[in-house]
Each structure stands twice: as C-alpha cells, then as structure tokens.
Structure 1
Amino acid sequence: MFLLHFLLVTSVLQLSYTASIQDEYKTYKGYKLYRVVGDSQEILKLIKMMNQLAEIPFYDARGARGDILIAPELVQIFEERVRLANLQANVEIGDYSEIIRSEKTGSRRKGSDFSWTAYYDVDDIYKYLQNVSKSHPDSTELVVGGQTYEGRQILGLRINTPSENKSDNKPVVFIESGIHAREWITPATTTYFINELLTSNNPDVTALRDQFDWHIFPTVNPDGYHYSMTRDRMWRKTRSKSSTYCYGADPNRNWDHNWLQHGATNNPCDYQTYGGSKPFSEVETRTLSEYIASLENLLAYVAFHSDAQILLVPYSDSVEHTDNYDDLVQIGKTSLEYGRQVNGEEYGGPATAAEILYKASGGSMDWVREKLGTPIVYTYELRGSYFHWPAEKINEQGDEVTQMLLGLFKEAKNLGYY
C-alpha cells in the first residue's frame, strides 16, 4: 500500500513540478497546515519522511508538537503515516491559498505613496530608502551591505545625525531584517522604525536616534524576498542554483559558526534549512559579513525574524551562555516590558534558541557575537501566524519594535555598555 502511494505521489509531484515552472505564482490551493502532537522523535521522523518524499514548503518541530504544510496530493499518505506513528494531527489552516489571497488585497499598491498598510516588493523598499536619503541629506545616506546572486545590491540606510562635537565616535548599531524571504513583517517593521527615527516628535525616540550611528537593512535577502512576492509565498532561502533542480540556501544557516552542526541539512532541495555547500557559500552572507566586520565601534547587532514571538540571545545551538548572558537577559527583559506596554503582548525569553526553540547553527547573530565580539546581540522573533500578519496592522508591530529598542538601549546604558 505504501509503495502504491509513493508511486502515485511521485507521479503527481512530477506534474506539479512541471506546472509550477509555468505558473506565474504558486497559489497553494488546497494546502493544509497541520498541527501534529505526540512523541517528539516520531514527529521528527514524520517530518524527515515527508521531506524525503517531496519538497515540503514549511515544517517546524518543537518538542511534542510539530507544524507541517501538506500539498493536497500528499494528504492521504500523510494522514496514514500519522496514524501509524500513533500521533494526532489537527488541521490549523484548511487552505493556505486563502491567506495568500487576503495578503494580495491592498498589498503592493502601484503608484501610491509608501505606507505601512501594505507589503511592498524590494524595488519599492529601495525606492523608499532612496527617497528618505534625499529628504534627510544631513543625517542619512544610502549604504551597500553586499551583493546578491541575481545581481542586486543589499541596500541599507545609515542614520547618523550631526553632533556638536564633530570628533564624536558614536557607537554603531546594525539592524538586519528579512534574511528569511517569507517573513514579510520584518522588512515592513524595519522601514516603520526608520520612519519613526526620522519623523517622530517623541524626545525619547529622537534621543535614541542621535546617540548612535545606525546601519539599517530592511531586507538582506532581496532575491529571495522578491521571489516570495512574485512566485512562491513560502520561499525562505536565497536564489542561487544549488543542484540540477533545486535553488537557494538558508542564509541564516550559512554563516561560519558551527556550520551544519545543528538545525541544518546538506540536502540542496530542502525548502528550509539547507546550509549551503560550505560556510559563506552564498554571496549574500559572504559580502554582508565583510561589511559588518568593517564597522568600527560596533556596539549592537539586532536581527528581526518572525513569527515565534520570542527574544533570543546567543548562542542559538548551545545552552552554554556568553560571558555577559545575565546582562543580556536583564536588558532583554526591559526591552520586552517596553514592548508589552504598547499592545499588551507577551514575548517569550530572553534565552538561547537551544533553550526555548530549537538548536540552530550557522546563524548571523552567533557569528557576529563569536567572531566580532559584539557585546549586545539579539534576535527578535516578531508576531504572526505561519508568516502571515495583516498588512493593515503593520503599525502595531512597528510601535512595539520602536518601544522595545528604546527599552533595550535604555537598560544597556544603565548597565554601562555606552
């Protein structure tokens, strides 16, 4: 019976693959999002088996529960395997295409001013950065953090307001966003924060702006982000060609920190966590790391992801703590309390990913901490549901992030970090 199912699925998947090449946008019509509960090892075996059978666009295992997105032609074999493993599976989303349809409504509006009630493609984001640099010429400039496989620049904005003492060497803060293509809320929130820094009348926000030399990059994986906007909503990786049929590597598993040891795979066709052929095999991570390493007086590195709603500190693949772990926890708690006061939302952490999420090696945050010794390093996992957040509510998370960063640097100052 299993062999029959396998042959049937293989045939259907071949047709699906051929069709996907021709389709303008992958609809995910009929794809079901399952929540699986039971023995953690059986859940991992289930995910591994499904990945060997087909390209699974999304999966996530955390202890005794797992989430997995299943194509309609795989539903029967998936549910049979769940039964054989003595697991329980409930449908969380009956048709993922409905989420995509809702996101398309009102998003990527052509010819309109840049706003935070819609999601925009990379060209629109870059145009926004260019316009901002023109409208604030005394305090901002465009900066290029690296290059991409498809020939794009990794474009960011430097915000460094003039100081009375021109010899001031301000501490540098680097913000990374959008390293995973499908996490759309992160570039949107980051541009919102840029706007707050430059236009807010709140004296706390203007003081935050003026204290630091900011290097802010809304999307450090622009090829992947563009692909998720135009072809495949669940795309996460870069767009380099990694095999005859498969593309991309996970740019947050490709940094030279314990590469491929935990939470990554050497399978180029894995939709999520292929770590690349070697550390820094991806031009995006390689050139971005060179840019970061060139920054003098780097005080803080902050990365934004979604949507686990937690705050992470290094190291992501270990329960062993950095020498200033207690300080990072204290700073992080203050940050989260500032954010909570905006919308009443509680975040998990601060803690390492190995402690509260899963072990993951080869990430940017850990490389920055280990190789550069940057003292303040965090990853914020923002809110959402399976990478969806309503466009009309972007400002909610934008306001949270602004307050969380206010709290972060206030407490860092209290502890003498600057």
Structure 2
Amino acid sequence: MGKMLCHAAILLFIVQLALAASVEEYKSYKNYKYYEIEGPKDDINALVVFLQENYEVPVFSIKNSTLSMIVAPELVPIVENISNEKKLQSKILIEDYSEIINEEKLKPRNGLGFSWTAYYDIDDINEYLRNTSKNYPKCTEVIVGGKSFEGRDILGLRINTPSDKKKPVIFIESGIHAREWITPATTTYFINQLLTSENPDIKALKEEFDWHIFPSINPDGYHYSHVTDRFWRKTRSKRGLECDGADPNRNWDHNWMHKGTSSNPCAQTFGGVKVFSEIETKSLSEYILKLENLKAYIGFHSDAQMLLLPYSDSKQHVDNYDDLKRIGQVSLDYGYKVNQAKYEGPATAAEILYPASGGSMDWVRHVKKTRLVFTYELRGYNFTWPAKRIPEQGDEVTQMMLGMVVEARKLGYFD
C-alpha cells in the first residue's frame, strides 16, 4: 500500500508539473494595463520607439496625439516616469487586461454546436466549413487555398449556385493577422447569411456570384493566438532566426519591404526573409492566380474601423480611385444603417492609417489587375471584441457587402 501511495504521489507530482508547464505556456496577460497617453506627437512617437527597442509592447496604436497601449506590469514604472518627465497625460483605462481575454474565450454552454456568440479555434472553424458543405451540397464545396507551415490546409468555402453562365468571382480573405479574431467570426457569419437569409437582396448576392471565402488564411498563427499568446500576429514559420514567424500581410510581391515593414525577425511587422517566404502567402497567391473572372477581392482586418483602398503604401491614386471611393462609401452607408457605426475612409492606408507595403490587396490589384479591391478594418478594442456582439458586426459586414455589390453593379463592374 505504501509503495502504491508513493507511486500515486509521484504521478500526481508529474501531473502537477505538466499542468504548471501548460499554464506557464499560455500567456495570460495578468495585470497588464491598458494605457491612454496624450501629448505632443513627437514625444508620443519617441516613447513608442524607446519601448519597442528595449521591451515587449504587445499592442499599441497612435491616433492624432493619443497613444493607446497595453503595458506589462513591470513596465508601468518606466511608462509613468517617462510620462512625468515629458509632461504627458497618462491614465489607465483597464487595470487587468487578462479579464478581457478570459471573457472573450468563454464558450456557450447550450450544446448547439457552432454559433456566433463565441470565438472558435481553427479546427472548429474548419469543421463548420465541412459541415456547411455537407448541409448545402448543391451550391457549396470546401476549397483549399494552400498550406500552412505546420501542415494545415487553408480551408475555405465556395458558394456557387448551379447556373449555365460563368459568374463573376468574389474572393474574401480574413484572419491573415492571427490576433484579429473578429474577422474569421464575421466571415463565417457572412457565409451563414448567404446560405440561410430570407432577405431577397441577400439571396440575390448568393445567386449572382461565385464566392470563394476563406475565414482564416493564417491558421497556424490563429491557433497559436488561442492556445499560447492572444496577441500573436504573424505566421509560425521557423528558420533558425531569433524569433518565429513573419507578418503575412507584408510578405506579398508588391513593393516588398518598401514601407511600414521591418527586417527585424522579432518585429510584429517583419516582412520575411524574402518575397513569399511564407508558405501561406506563396500557396494562396498560386490559388488566386488560377482564378478566372476574378472581379472583386475583399480583405477583412481589425480594428481601425476604416475602409482602405489601394495602394496601401502610397497617397497616389489608382486610375479608378473615384469609383472605388464611391462604391466604398455606399458600402459604408449600408453598414452604418445597422448600428450607426461610422468608419473612416474610403482612402488609402497611407492617407488615413499608415503606409504599408507587401500586402495581399495591393498584390492582387497589381498582378491580377482586379479592379475592385478593398480592405475593411472592422471594429474592436486592441484586437478584442465581446463574443456576444459578433452578430452586430456580422450584420454590418453583410450589409457592407450588399452595398458594395449594388453600387459596383451600377457602374458596370460585373458586366
């Protein structure tokens, strides 16, 4: 009996060690604080540069002369000291950001399967796509847009009702940045709307186009953001560098490494060791190149609450910029009617956000010559959004897609 108890105690100790290791592996962001700091723009920028060069800053954004930033507890005295020295106005809006993350990860307990009141990891999303294809076999099929570094398929859903005519293709990508959870959620919501809505306008959307919709084109990174680090942005590639992964929206072959990207492997915006170094971007680009009659390319990001036009690294306008601006504004107007949420734009990222090169939208515009290309920056707070409010943005996105199609049709873009 004593030997059994000893073995049991050893086993319990091993289990406890394993549990402790798993807890340590998941970055909880316990006691990380959400700061808002106001002051002269040069001082704000200097603060950000100093922190980025010397410490980890998981999330920050600068709008006008206001810095919003999540700060590790050990950095609080440093941030406070610099703010005091520079006479910056700082305040803590959230004392413990882990509470926001924990609330976001809660799953519904109704046992009804996939829903839009929770966030799901990549396997659940892929299962939803497969089940949806089984439930709607006449008009849907699971499609594979490429591979990930860890061997996952980049799964999407093609929605194409039977027809004798060749339909215009609309391609939707989301989840290219792992931590932007609201984008796969709203994309699957839109899929569900296309297939189940009784609204005749939404039914017409389904019938008129050949949809290729990919909820998560960075599946490794997305999974990692669920199980290890909520604010992970990049892919999960490993090349013996100091840090893993690259920013998959800085890795496409258009003005690569030109603006708004980094050659530092540890930076969130690391553009990769070369163009299309990431298998996700390389294989997805090959899929897109094979698409015939591609009339529109839509990317979903969060959380700047903007509508962006090509090219992202320039203030110069493409030849149909006025059309894109008009179509985009109608799209935003349709979305605004749902929740009265106002988006900035339409404009290039260089005009209203920041210049950024090597993105998917710009590559599609440049290489495929696709005339309708848009990037929707959805709403949120530091890449978080309450799960119970997913339908709120899902309904907005559905109406935005409708508005985009209605106005583009008027201007002859689907002829």
Q: TM-score, normalised by structure 1?
A: 0.91
Cα deviations by residue, 1:46-93 (Å, 9 ceiling, x for unpaired): 212111212221122344222222111111122222333443322232
Mapped contact 1:302–1:379 kept (Cα < 8 A): yes
Residue 234 and residue 110 in structure 1: after superposition, are their counterparts in 2 closer, same or farther (change >3 A)?
A: farther
Residue 112 of structure 1 and its aligned partner are, at CA, apart by 4.1
Residue 245 of structure 1 and its aligned partner are, at CA, apart by 4.0
Residue 268 and residue 410 in structure 1: after superposition, are their counterparts in 2 closer, same or farther (change >3 A)?
A: same
Aligned to 2:327: 331
Give yes or no for the alignment of 1:240 onto 2:237: yes
The correspondence of residues 9-408 of structure 1 with structure 2, limited to 5 A, is: 23-106=24-107, 112-163=112-163, 166=164, 168-270=165-267, 272-408=268-404
Residue 105 of structure 1 and its aligned partner are, at CA, apart by 2.5
1: distance between equivalents of 2:236 and 2:22?
15
Mapped contact 1:176–1:216 kept (Cα < 8 A): yes
The amino acid that maps onto 1:154 is I
Mapped contact 1:242–1:268 kept (Cα < 8 A): no
2:232 aligned counterpart, secondary structure: coil
2: distance between equivalents of 1:338 and 1:254?
32
Residue 281 and residue 41 in structure 1: after superposition, are their counterparts in 2 closer, same or farther (change >3 A)?
A: farther
2: distance between equivalents of 1:72 and 1:151?
36
Mapped contact 1:349–1:356 kept (Cα < 8 A): yes
Mapped contact 1:258–1:362 kept (Cα < 8 A): yes
Residue 40 of structure 1 and its aligned partner are, at CA, apart by 2.3
2: distance between equivalents of 1:44 and 1:111?
48
2: distance between equivalents of 1:315 and 1:286?
20
2: distance between equivalents of 1:86 and 1:242?
43
The amino acid that maps onto 1:82 is S
Mapped contact 2:241–2:265 kept (Cα < 8 A): no
Mapped contact 2:252–2:363 kept (Cα < 8 A): yes
Structure 1 residues not aligned, in runs of 5+ = 1-18
Equivalent residue in structure 2 for 1:411, among 407, 410, 413: 407
Structure 2 residues not aligned, in runs of 5+ = 1-19
The amino acid that maps onto 1:202 is N
Mapped contact 2:242–2:265 kept (Cα < 8 A): no
1:23 aligned counterpart, secondary structure: helix
2: distance between equivalents of 1:103 and 1:325?
38
Mapped contact 1:365–1:377 kept (Cα < 8 A): yes
2:189 aligned counterpart, secondary structure: helix
2: distance between equivalents of 1:60 and 1:242?
29
1: distance between equivalents of 2:239 and 2:264?
10
Mapped contact 1:36–1:66 kept (Cα < 8 A): yes
Residue 352 of structure 1 and its aligned partner are, at CA, apart by 0.8
The amino acid that maps onto 2:236 is R
Residue 356 of structure 1 and its aligned partner are, at CA, apart by 0.9
Mapped contact 1:188–1:218 kept (Cα < 8 A): yes
Mapped contact 2:105–2:118 kept (Cα < 8 A): no
Residue 244 of structure 1 and its aligned partner are, at CA, apart by 4.5
Residue 363 of structure 1 and its aligned partner are, at CA, apart by 0.9
Residue 334 of structure 1 and its aligned partner are, at CA, apart by 0.6
Residue 243 of structure 1 and its aligned partner are, at CA, apart by 4.6
2: distance between equivalents of 1:83 and 1:35?
14
Residue 361 of structure 1 and its aligned partner are, at CA, apart by 1.1
The amino acid that maps onto 1:174 is F
Mapped contact 1:55–1:269 kept (Cα < 8 A): no
Mapped contact 2:331–2:399 kept (Cα < 8 A): yes
The amino acid that maps onto 2:48 is I
The amino acid that maps onto 2:303 is D
2:167 aligned counterpart, secondary structure: coil
Residue 22 and residue 115 in structure 1: after superposition, are their counterparts in 2 closer, same or farther (change >3 A)?
A: closer
Residue 269 of structure 1 and its aligned partner are, at CA, apart by 1.1
Residue 110 of structure 1 and its aligned partner are, at CA, apart by 9.9
Residue 111 of structure 1 and its aligned partner are, at CA, apart by 5.8
Residue 22 and residue 391 in structure 1: after superposition, are their counterparts in 2 closer, same or farther (change >3 A)?
A: closer
Paired residues, what number?
395
2: distance between equivalents of 1:323 and 1:289?
24
1: distance between equivalents of 2:187 and 2:30?
31
| Structure with max Cα Rg | 2
Which has the higher mean CA deviation after the structures are superposed, 62-71 or 245-254? 62-71
Mapped contact 2:236–2:244 kept (Cα < 8 A): yes
2: distance between equivalents of 1:353 and 1:288?
23
2:252 aligned counterpart, secondary structure: coil
Mapped contact 1:243–1:268 kept (Cα < 8 A): no
